[in-house]
Structure 1
Amino acid sequence: MADTRSPIQVIGGGLAGTEAAWQIARAGLPVVLHEMRPQKTSPAHHTEHLAELVCSNSFGAMASDRASGLLHHELRQLGSVVIAKADEHAVSAGGALAVDRAIFSQNLTQTLAQHPLIELRRDEVSRIPTEGVVVLATGPLTSPALSEDLSRFTGMEYMSFFDAASPIVVGDSINRDIAFLASRYDRGEAAYLNCPMDKAQYLAFWTALCQAEQAELKDFELETAKFFEGCLPIEEMARRGEDTLRYGPLKPVGIFDARHGDFKDPANREKRPYAVVQLRQEDRAGQLWNMVGFQTNLRWGEQKRVFQMIPGLEETEFVRMGVMHRNTFLNAPQLLETTLQFKQRSTLLAAGQIIGTEGYTAAVAGGWLAGTNAARLARNLAPITLPPVTMGGALFDFISTASPKHFQPMPPNFGIMPELEQRIRVKQERYGAYRDRALASLSAWMNAERSAA
Structure 2
Amino acid sequence: MSDVNIIGGGLAGCEAAWQLARRGYKVRLSEMRGSGEMTPAHQTDGLAELVCSNSFRSDDSDKNAVGLLHHEMRALDSIIMRAGEKARVPAGSAMAVDRDVFSAEVQRTLDEHPNVTIVRERVDALPASGHTIVATGPLTAQALADSIVKATGQERLAFFDAIAPIVHHDSIDMSKCWIQSRWNKRTEASNADGDYINCPMTKEQYLAFHQGLMDGEKTEFREWEKDTPYFDGCMPIEVMAARGVETLRYGPMKGVGLDNPYDTSEDFPQGRWPYAVVQLRQDNKLGTLWNMVGFQTKLKYAAQVDLFRTIPGLENAEFARLGGLHRNTFLNSPMVLDRQLRLKDAGHIRFAGQVTGCEGYVESSAVGLMAGMMVAAELGGEPWQAPPATTALGALLSHITGDAEAATYQPMNINFGLFPPLHEVKKKARKEAYTARAKADLAEWIAGVERVPA
The TM-score by the shorter chain falls in which range?
over 0.9
Residues 377 and 384, structure 2, Cα contact 8 Å, conserved in 1: yes
Q: Which residue of 2 aligns with 1:264?
A: none
SS in 2 for 1:397: helix
Residue 380 of structure 1: CA displacement? 2.8
Q: Is the 8 A contact 2:23 2:452 kept in 1?
A: no
SS at match of 1:279: strand
Q: Which residue of 2 aligns with 1:369?
A: 370
Aligned residues: 441
C-alpha contact 2:263 2:273 (8 A) present in aligned 1 = no
228-237 or 369-378: bigger deviation? 369-378
Among 158, 161, 164, the residue aligned to 1:163: 161
Amino acid at match of 1:447: A
Alignment of 1:124 onto 2:122: yes
Secondary structure of 1:176's aligned partner: coil
**Distance across 1 between alignment mates of 2:92 and 2:75:** 23
Matched, 1:214 2:214: no
| Cα offset, 1:339, TM superposition | 2.0
TM-score by length of 2: 0.94
Offset at residue 207 of structure 1 (A): 0.5
SS of the residue aligned with 1:270? coil
Q: Which of 416, 423, 428 is equivalent to 1:414? A: 416
Deviation per CA, 1:250-286: give whole Å up to 9, x if none.
000001235769xxxxx99625310000000000110
Q: Which residue in the other structure is 2:259 paired with?
A: 256
Matched, 1:299 2:300: yes
Tell me, which stretches of 5 or more residues in structure 1 are unaligned?
Answer: 262-266
The residue type equivalent to 1:204 in the other structure is: A
Q: Distance in 2 between matches of 1:451 and 1:225?
A: 44
The answer for the alignment partner of 2:391 in structure 1 is 390
1:51 maps to 48
CA shift for structure 1 position 336: 1.3
Q: Is the 8 A contact 2:263 2:271 kept in 1?
A: no
| Alignment of 1:195 onto 2:199 | yes
- Could you tell me how far apart the structure 2 residues matched to 1:26 and 1:166 are? 35
Matched, 1:283 2:284: yes
In structure 2, stretches of 5+ residues that fail to align are: none
RMSD over aligned Cα, in angstroms? 1.7
Would the aligned equivalents of 1:9 and 1:31 in 2 still touch at CA under 8 Å? yes
Instruction: Give, in angstroms, the shift of residue 421 of structure 1.
Output: 6.3
Structure 2 partner of 1:350 = 351
1:362-414 superposed Cα distances (whole Å, 9 cap, x missing partner): 00100100011112222333233111100110111012111111111111000
SS at match of 1:178: coil
Give the 3-state SS of the residue equivalent to 1:363 in structure 2.
helix
SS at match of 1:105: helix
The answer on 1:236 being equivalent to 2:239 is yes
Question: In structure 1, what residue type is equivalent to 2:444?
Answer: A
Q: How does 1:54-93 map to 2 (within 5 A)?
A: 54-64=51-61, 65-93=63-91
Distance 1:197 1:309 in 2: 10
Aligned to 1:368, the other structure's residue is in SS state helix
Say whether residues 1:433 and 2:429 are aligned partners. Answer: no
Q: For 1:379 and 1:272, how far apart are their aligned partners in 2?
A: 59
Counterpart Cα distance in 2 of 1:425 and 1:158: 38
Structure 1 residue aligned with 2:319: 318
> Which whole-Å CA distance do the structure 1 matches of 2:242 and 2:374 have between them?
45
1:150-173 deviation digits (Å, cap 9, x = unpaired): 111111121101101100010000
Residue 50 (structure 1) shift: 0.6
1:88 and 1:415 mapped to 2: Cα distance?
A: 31
Read off the aligned partner of 2:217 and give its amino acid letter.
E
Partner SS state of residue 224, structure 1: coil
Question: Partners of 1:125 and 1:315 in 2: how far apart?
Answer: 44
- Tell whether the 8 Å contact from 1:250 to 1:278 is kept in structure 2 after alignment: yes
| 1:425 positional shift | 2.0
CA contact (8 A) 2:152 2:343 kept: no
C-alpha distance in structure 2 between counterparts of 1:363 and 1:38, whole Å = 22
Kept in 2, the 8 Å contact 1:339–1:384? The answer is no
Deviation readout 1:129-184 (Å, 9 max, x if unpaired): 11110001000000000000011111112110110110001000000001110011
The separation in 1 between residues aligned to 2:348 and 2:86, in whole angstroms, is 34
- Structure 1 position 296, deviation (Å): 0.5
Query: Aligned-pair distance for 1:337?
Result: 2.1
Contact 2:2/2:28 (8 A) holds in 1 = no
SS of 2:296's partner is: coil
Counterpart Cα distance in 2 of 1:268 and 1:186: 22
Report the 3-state secondary structure (helix = DSSP H, G, I; strand = E; otherwise coil) of the residue aligned with 2:427: coil
Tell me if 1:8 matches 2:4: yes
Kept in 2: contact 1:329–1:354 (CA 8 A): yes
**Structure 1 residues 6 and 315 mapped into 2: Cα distance closer, same or farther (>3 Å)?**
closer
